[in-house]
Structure 1
């Protein structure tokens, strides 16, 4: 099974039913049936191949959310090509490094990035501009042409065919621990992710009346829901960017039933008034979240004010999510009197194997902390071009992906993620897992976000420092006092510093590497604004 077959199957099965709606790349509202989406994807796929591209060629795709972006996402892979999504939040130098690493020959980009990709486009054989007319593209000079011209290509009698293990995507890490590395994803990987997502996160195939809202970037967690809703014949709504008020309005206006976000987006949604959030409580069948821990009080507020159907899932660039899932029932149990459950990443998804091992690769008993490893069709084929060869040598052993995440398991098969191997703090010879300290600091009333890290110390090797955002009257003494009552002495922060805002990386996670560098340089941190 491949992507082209899935798109063609949905087009034939669901016909005139609405598949996707939202603004196209030019900003005009567009509504496409499954039949129309299937035909446009097929025409774009043929058009790309007629440019001279061959199966396995890499195509850079740089766009923000639009119906056109969803079309190109599917068309590149349906053509047997390899889609390399460029995160628009990265620096152009990062785009150039990715392009050089994967040796891309083709760039598709949103017209709004025309000024940013001049250097990148100069090295491409083909540059396709999205959201402009052919005349506009011609005026851009160089090899540029209008993506819409590819739609003049006649639709093929049958879709292209790719082997299940053929490469169809390169997904680069956010680069917070060095230059990004490209994880190779195959058609088989995506099918496995679709099955796992449908079975464990959605709890079964969506119905004809369900609507998924792409409230976050399709390049990230939201893109995991494209295929599950496509193959089920359910509708997808695309928002060009995250806006909590517009999302709340979309729930009522468009009948949104499902979405997935990162925790910072949940916090911004909760800032809305109760009368604005009221319709969500009645309509939302699922609010998924991933990418970072969510404090218990935020979970409780979301459960009470947004929806009781909260689902958390865990995965990696190298292993298509979900690897594990904490479902709505576990959320309800956690809030009803088993709070430890809310810190769990849940149980393994349908097609996933998972173990916790020591440094020698031996399985550890329940409750002991070790590295999380996973095996299954959701795991990448490997890193592109041997990129990050040392990491690769440590990452895949006998078919098992070593994630670099530290965790423990209970007797019910639930996983608790403790921290990243590289984030662990060693102070006075003791190991401190930042996640544990962050959870305690987050309990302090008025604290919003927390980042705990180790900073070089002449006496202890490293000292524990807690940075947090929150109400102005939450002082260092309150945080330190709370930690003194809840943590062993060696785990307690030596400093607790309130900041105005955290710097975020390209996936909207707190950029701990930046924080650590600033602290090591001795910067005054209280005035940081991100």
Structure 2
């Protein structure tokens, strides 16, 4: 196993790219790590790099380890290449890519694989000091000056910040593959008004990145809804298990299908709509409330720019809907609750609502729900005035 520490700088991305291409050609498996992650050393130790790697593994994509025991997803060259080929087929052909997300996560790493298939060198946004719109624009100009088509992959937080900064360069790309988190309706409207070509994607490390684009599975990918409307995925893009964890592998990968942790439904026009994670369904007073639907409703309020929703223990309701919202404006909490009540009903209305400057994030743009719970419970303990109705 080859452990590559990449902080998102141009030099570290080049080193990781060489290692990944070697792995795709039959070389040692690659374990990418972000040295800026405080848990990087514990994640490395959990992957036991001195022990033999499971056969057929090209890349191991790990969890951050901040929410529990680190888990390594085993991806073969076949799965990575199948995903990259299917992505190009859906987008309209190979093109020049700009890497703008951390390469140690599957969305960023796939930009390296897609660029390899396209026979091009990806542009790189230097992420060593975090994501900065001006750094994106600088790297984008170089990519856009070469023959196209031109693609990049972003998470919603990045897209929002680029639009806040004017969005001049991002609007010039032929397609923006958006993943890592839900695509809020208000952000979608902003992108459309700015002329940005966004393709929302759904996927995860176990599916070698996005495998459903705008609700439609990629070529070769099959999706079904299992028990409790759990989303299940099959196809050549699947991982072949978890590092040194046969029990978790057997539970998640069954008869050629990967059992995700997400709940979904089919829309009237046959597209997959992901409602949220199974463990994010909040049973409050006997009513099941998807946390993501509440987040979407909160984001439709003009004063809310980010939102995270969790369920907390409640002596009366069993679980109560609790929310943390980020805003730069004065916010009337009663009007926020009224808007959610009008949209989704009383059961979905947050009984606890906390305002912060920034939501805690984990990974590439994902809300850290464990941190949200700690924030909310901490404010309850201290009796903060705006924490309860």
Unpaired stretches in structure 1, ≥5 consecutive residues: 1-57, 107-164, 327-345, 360-369
- Picking from 265, 270, 278, the partner of 2:163 is 270
Q: Could you give the per-residue CA deviations for residues 440-473 of structure 1, whole angstroms, max 9, x where no partner exists?
A: 1111112100111111111111111121011332
Pairwise CA distance, 1:89: 3.8
Change (3 A) 1:100 1:245: closer
CA contact (8 A) 2:280 2:291 kept: yes
Equivalent position of 2:3 in the other structure: 60
Correspondence 1:436 to 2:293: yes
CA contact (8 A) 2:264 2:276 kept: yes
Q: Could you give the per-residue CA deviations for residues 114-152 of structure 1, whole angstroms, max 9, x where no partner exists?
A: xxxxxxxxxxxxxxxxxxxxxxxxxxxxxxxxxxxxxxx
Equivalent position of 1:316 in the other structure: 204
| Alignment partners' CA distance in 1, 2:317 and 2:66 | 26
- Picking from 18, 25, 31, the partner of 1:84 is 31
Change (3 A) 1:83 1:181: same
| Alignment partners' CA distance in 2, 1:195 and 1:527 | 50
> What is the aligned residue count?
371
Equivalent position of 1:419 in the other structure: 276
Structure having the higher Rg:
1
Change (3 A) 1:177 1:393: farther
- Picking from 88, 106, 118, the partner of 1:232 is 118
Pairwise CA distance, 1:196: 1.5
Unpaired stretches in structure 2, ≥5 consecutive residues: none
| Alignment partners' CA distance in 2, 1:239 and 1:527 | 39
Counterpart secondary structure, 2:213? strand
| Alignment partners' CA distance in 2, 1:304 and 1:230 | 33
Pairwise CA distance, 1:76: 4.6
| Alignment partners' CA distance in 2, 1:253 and 1:86 | 27
- Picking from 191, 196, 200, the partner of 2:81 is 191
Correspondence 1:299 to 2:185: no
Correspondence 1:374 to 2:211: no
1:167-186 → structure 2 map (5 Å cutoff): 167-175=57-65, 177-186=67-76
CA contact (8 A) 1:497 1:526 kept: no
Pairwise CA distance, 1:253: 4.2
| Alignment partners' CA distance in 1, 2:71 and 2:219 | 27
Question: Over aligned residue pairs, what C-alpha RMSD do you find?
Answer: 2.4
CA contact (8 A) 1:181 1:384 kept: yes
| Alignment partners' CA distance in 2, 1:526 and 1:244 | 36
Pairwise CA distance, 1:477: 0.8
Pairwise CA distance, 1:279: 5.0
Change (3 A) 1:68 1:169: closer
Counterpart secondary structure, 1:489? coil
CA contact (8 A) 2:123 2:140 kept: no
| Alignment partners' CA distance in 2, 1:184 and 1:69 | 17
Pairwise CA distance, 1:325: 0.2
1:181-220 → structure 2 map (5 Å cutoff): 181-200=71-90, 202-206=91-95, 211-220=96-105
Change (3 A) 1:456 1:480: same
| Alignment partners' CA distance in 2, 1:85 and 1:252 | 28
Change (3 A) 1:319 1:473: same
Pairwise CA distance, 1:268: 0.9
| Alignment partners' CA distance in 1, 2:268 and 2:342 | 29
Counterpart secondary structure, 1:467? strand
- Picking from 301, 305, 312, the partner of 1:448 is 305
CA contact (8 A) 1:176 1:511 kept: no
| Alignment partners' CA distance in 2, 1:270 and 1:526 | 34
| Alignment partners' CA distance in 2, 1:527 and 1:237 | 45
| Alignment partners' CA distance in 2, 1:86 and 1:267 | 26
Q: Could you give the per-residue CA deviations for residues 218-267 of structure 1, whole angstroms, max 9, x where no partner exists?
A: 22212212222222223411122132123223333442632111111111
Correspondence 1:478 to 2:335: yes
Q: Normalising to structure 1: TM-score of the pair?
A: 0.66
Change (3 A) 1:383 1:279: closer
Equivalent position of 1:459 in the other structure: 316
Pairwise CA distance, 1:79: 5.1
Counterpart secondary structure, 1:490? coil
CA contact (8 A) 1:456 1:520 kept: no
CA contact (8 A) 1:280 1:306 kept: no
Q: Could you give the per-residue CA deviations for residues 19-68 of structure 1, whole angstroms, max 9, x where no partner exists?
A: xxxxxxxxxxxxxxxxxxxxxxxxxxxxxxxxxxxxxxx22111123223
